[in-house]
Structure 1
């Protein structure tokens, strides 16, 4: 196992800068996930760790060794790409052993590594098949196996599941998580899918426009986002945001939403302004439906998922998503009254900074 350290990493393509001074410490054996919208720099950052992109400024250390200018082969890392990149004319066995054969590794060592990789990834029945005879999930397992036989200090995954269907994605997430537990190796994983990030990561790194917005355990980021961007990105469906004005009243804030509804929350940020423009955030699961609600909304669409349903509704200028576990969800066109659960309102100032997060939201 090896630590990974990024210090002041910057990347420029000519006059255009894409990575703006990234600092990150990854502990040995951690599973770290880079997540963010398309174009945020997560794959570029991963490729710099792998040595596939030059570093414009800053340093990269793996296991305490400076590898900033080292060739990819000298970094003791293995990368799994979005495309399987398997040789179509080779069998699974030949694909797995190709790199070792090119390095003239002893045949007995190759056989032992292949046997172990096949057992871990359950590839034994497919060793003599070619990629065209495999499913997408099996091909991705072979790609992971090709990295596994290298026995690297750090595994790098660049959106490895994006080409798979929903069922295979779920299955492969479980397999990758189990692989990490078994190997105990440091893993860095890139995805645009925050559900993947939430379910896999020991540490989640949220990126936007080449900068780190927040780092932490997924549940900590979910409960205590540092700003409006993280709050809206982490969690599916996204947090509801309602524009308004707030006024600080001691340790509390009174929020007047556009449309006149009144909310309140406890102020958590030190030095919060006395008031001003704001957004109140309410997660879909933190609404109470019915009764004398603060908001009156009209249902537009209902997504029925079995045990729960997501109600999409319009309230003035706001589009809301509400989770319900009621046996009978409202229908499109129905009017519903909504009230945030007590103490479950987030508050963001006009710069997007979090100035209040519910204590009841909890952390891990």
Structure 2
């Protein structure tokens, strides 16, 4: 296990800057996930850690040692790429051992490392097969095994599951999580899929435009996002955000929506009235005829135990989770109220201004 520290990391490609002064500390044995939309700089940051890209400014430390100018081979890291990058003419055994054979590692050491990796990843039945004879999930396990036999201090994963179908992604998430528990190694994982991030991470780093928006445990970020971007990015379906204005005094505010509905909120600090945006997650709505917000149902997604109701209020689209046996039907008008204490308020700059420290658990 090794710690990882980034100090003021920046990256410029000519006049264009893609990474803006990133500071981050990863504790030994942590599973940290970089997450954000395409183009936010997460893969570039991972490649800088690996030494495949040079940072324009800043310092990188692994295990307390400055590796900013070190070659990739001297950083004691192993990387698993989005593409499996397996040699098509080699068997699984040969793919796993190739790097060690090229470095002249003793045959007995190679055999011992292979036995351990194959056992952990359950590749015993595939050692003599070539990549063309394997499924996508099996190929990805071989790619992980190739990193595993290096016994690095830090594992780096660059969107390793993006080429797999939904069922295989689920299975591989479980396998990678189990691998982390067994090895106890420091792992840095890049994905644009916030579901992967939520289910895998000890600590999640949300990036936007090359800047860190927020760092924390996934459920902390889900329950207490620092701004509207993080609030909408974390959670599926995303949070509903509605244009509003607020008035009030002290730490209380009455939020008024376009249709005239009034919602009571608590503020983190006294503020003057003005425009704002109200945020409510799909699972934090109450449906009832007396609801203050009147919305027209446009579509219903039935998922079995629950349904997602898509509706429209004053030209703004809403998504509501319902666990009713018979959810509302399209064209029906429903009344909605946010669950008390489970709403968010964002100012004109997108910063969270509501005083909310509630549980992230969905409401039944």
TM-score in terms of structure 2 length: 0.98
1:275 and 2:273 correspond: yes
Distance 2:26 2:197 in 1: 16
SS across alignment from 2:78: strand
SS across alignment from 1:306: coil
SS across alignment from 1:243: strand
Distance 1:303 1:122 in 2: 38
Contact 2:76–2:153 at 8 Å: present in 1 too?
yes
- What is the aligned partner in structure 2 of residue 7 from structure 1? 7
Contact 2:10–2:21 at 8 Å: present in 1 too?
yes
State the superposition RMSD in angstroms: 1.0
Distance 2:133 2:328 in 1: 47
Contact 1:223–1:357 at 8 Å: present in 2 too?
no
SS across alignment from 1:359: coil
- 1:1-364 map, 5 Å: 1-268=1-268, 270=269, 272-361=270-359
Distance 2:326 2:346 in 1: 34
SS across alignment from 1:29: coil
Contact 2:250–2:271 at 8 Å: present in 1 too?
no
Distance 1:36 1:294 in 2: 34
Residues 59-97 of structure 1: CA deviation (Å, up to 9, x unaligned): 000001111111100000000000000000000000000
Shift in Å at residue 291 of structure 1? 2.6
Distance 2:354 2:187 in 1: 33
Structure 2 unmatched runs, 5+: none
Contact 1:345–1:357 at 8 Å: present in 2 too?
no
Shift in Å at residue 358 of structure 1? 2.9
Distance 2:155 2:35 in 1: 17
Please list every run of at least 4 consecutive aligned residues from structure 1 whose deviation after the TM superposition is greater than 6 angstroms.
Answer: none
Distance 1:200 1:361 in 2: 20
The range that moved more, 35-44 or 332-341, is 332-341
Distance 1:113 1:100 in 2: 10
Shift in Å at residue 295 of structure 1? 1.1
Shift in Å at residue 259 of structure 1? 2.0
Contact 1:278–1:349 at 8 Å: present in 2 too?
yes
Structure 1 unmatched runs, 5+: none
Contact 2:246–2:254 at 8 Å: present in 1 too?
yes
Distance 1:105 1:303 in 2: 56
Q: What is the aligned length? A: 361
Shift in Å at residue 359 of structure 1? 3.1
Distance 1:148 1:193 in 2: 24
Distance 2:118 2:103 in 1: 20
Distance 1:360 1:6 in 2: 32
